[in-house]
Amino acid sequence: MAKTKSAYFCQSCGYESAKWLGKCPSCNQWNTFVEEIIDKGNVATWKSASGTQRLNKPNKVEEIQSADEERTTTSDAELDRVLGGGLVAGSVTLIGGEPGIGKSTLMLQLALNVEGRKVLYVSGEESEQQIKMRAERITKDPKSNCYILTETSTQNIFKQIEQLEPEIVIIDSIQTLHSAHIESTPGSVSQVRECTAELLRFAKETNTPVFLIGHITKDGAIAGPKILEHMVDTVLQFEGDRHHIYRILRSIKNRFGAAAELGIYAMQSSGLREVSNPSEILLSQRDEELSGITIGATLEGARPMLIETQALVSVAAYGTPQRSATGFDTKRMNMLLAVLEKRCGFRLSAKDVFLNIAGGIKVEDPAIDLAIMAAIISSHEDIFISSKICFAAEVGLSGEIRAVNRIEQRISEAEKLGFEKIFISNYNLKGLVKDKFKIEIITVSKIEEVFSLLFG
């Protein structure tokens, strides 16, 4: 019998050690080491048992043949955009997201809708019947040849793949797979790493695109070792509020395109529907003007989006004022509040401040700063700001209004949606042809100016 070998793995970063350690030398986390049995003897993975190993030689960069990146459409415009313009042959894409957000639905929808291709959907989480039921909700007549396999052993999956020869493989989820060559339980660091490595080898050798669904931990990181994210070509995050219908697919890493691209979907009873014009749904149709609401012209990826921000400022009911933000970084909100207090003299330190980005969207673009500050002051003073005004500027610590990137795109989007005025930074004026736009462009350089223009 082969001797079993074990090692200790940090559950946070995947660091491997021969003995147990209290603190991980790599990521400095405490108590993260768990013993896992590994058996690396006679590893037979994707064809490596039969095939001879190819030895790579160094090649001069000019002599390397540039292969045209073959891109194919996934029949889902949002997903294509997030992937950087379509699916690349031999790429491995990891999709992470909270339970119930719709990862399986998104992937099954892809499996059913890619036109005329043979797709293998491997599920280790649901039964064939469950998947069939879901497939019926999504579409009545699939446009692809979609095969479902319920299996968790990578060796068996590869056997089926060799017979079926699918053009796209989807794995739901990587944490349920196990490789016979490693003895630890599915979902453990070494299993996840090994299974991913095997699938990666398969993808690269056969030029088949592979999608992996990954679970996330309670802090929102993809479960398993961080190296999982390093191994794959593309990491996508599927997020949104389960109580809202909108879901956002964000690219975090993409070897074949721009990161920070974004796709928006609406979860309906018949699956996910692409949302091609996000601004219209993110702006609520207001009949009357209300205080505490402003619109920010943000950019997510390469796409401009007008987003409604809502603030509520009220007298603190308890000694310590509450500060809470949904869809926006609370630390950054606190910073903006400090700027308002110090530079503009608003007495906000004894006030509760609540902030909400409409539609359950998370915004990281700093260009929303000015809209947020205006919403807070509008609520504080209880004076409404016209719904025909929008904002696109970052605010610095001394209250200066800073320039943001791609200002023309933001202005055009605001103009397209019928806004009458947009506040931007003075520093954004360089190279900007103001006359081109019909919308009134108001340039400011200090936060005080904004408030005197808004509230007189």
- For binding to ligand TYD (CB under 6 A), which residues are involved? 97, 99-105, 134, 137-138, 267, 269-271
Q: Are 340 and 372 in contact (CB under 8 A)?
A: no
Q: Are 179 and 192 in contact (CB under 8 A)?
A: no
Nearest to 211 by CA among 305, 119, 313: 119
| Stated length of the chain | 456
Residue nearer to ligand TYD on the CB measure, 263 or 399: 263
CA–CA distance, 396 with 338 (Å, rounded to integer):
11
What does the angle CA 374 – CA 379 – CA 381 come to, to the nearest 5 degrees?
Answer: 95
Residue nearer to ligand TYD on the CB measure, 171 or 373: 171
- State the binding string over 99-138 for Mg ion (x if CB under 5 A, else -): -----x----------------------------------
Q: Which of Mg ion, ligand TYD, none does residue 100 bind (CB under 5 to 8 Å by kind)?
A: ligand TYD
Structure tokens that stand for 402 in this block = 């800073």
Q: Which of ligand TYD, Mg ion, none does residue 313 bind (CB under 5 to 8 Å by kind)?
A: none
Residue nearer to ligand TYD on the CB measure, 138 or 383: 138
Smallest gap from Cβ 360 to ligand TYD, in A, equals 14
CA atoms within 13 A on the CB side of 298: 28
Residue nearer to ligand TYD on the CB measure, 130 or 156: 130
Residue nearer to ligand TYD on the CB measure, 102 or 327: 102
* Element at 123 (helix H, strand E): strand 118-123
Q: Which of Mg ion, ligand TYD, none does residue 362 bind (CB under 5 to 8 Å by kind)?
A: none
Residue nearest to Mg ion (CB): 104
Smallest gap from Cβ 124 to ligand TYD, in A, equals 12
Smallest gap from Cβ 265 to ligand TYD, in A, equals 11
Q: Which of ligand TYD, Mg ion, none does residue 178 bind (CB under 5 to 8 Å by kind)?
A: none
413, with CB counted inside 10 A (0-12, 13-18, 19+), is buried
Q: Are 227 and 14 in contact (CB under 8 A)?
A: yes
Residue nearer to Mg ion on the CB measure, 104 or 310: 104
Size of the residue set binding Mg ion (CB under 5 A): 1
CA–CA distance, 399 with 372 (Å, rounded to integer):
13
Q: Which of ligand TYD, Mg ion, none does residue 269 bind (CB under 5 to 8 Å by kind)?
A: ligand TYD
What does the angle CA 144 – CA 167 – CA 80 come to, to the nearest 5 degrees?
Answer: 75
Q: CB-based contacts of 182: which residues, under 8 Å, 6+ apart? A: 36, 37, 38, 39, 40, 190, 191, 194
Residue nearer to Mg ion on the CB measure, 45 or 104: 104
Smallest gap from Cβ 172 to Mg ion, in A, equals 6
Q: Which of Mg ion, ligand TYD, none does residue 53 bind (CB under 5 to 8 Å by kind)?
A: none
Q: Which residues bind Mg ion (CB under 5 A)?
A: 104
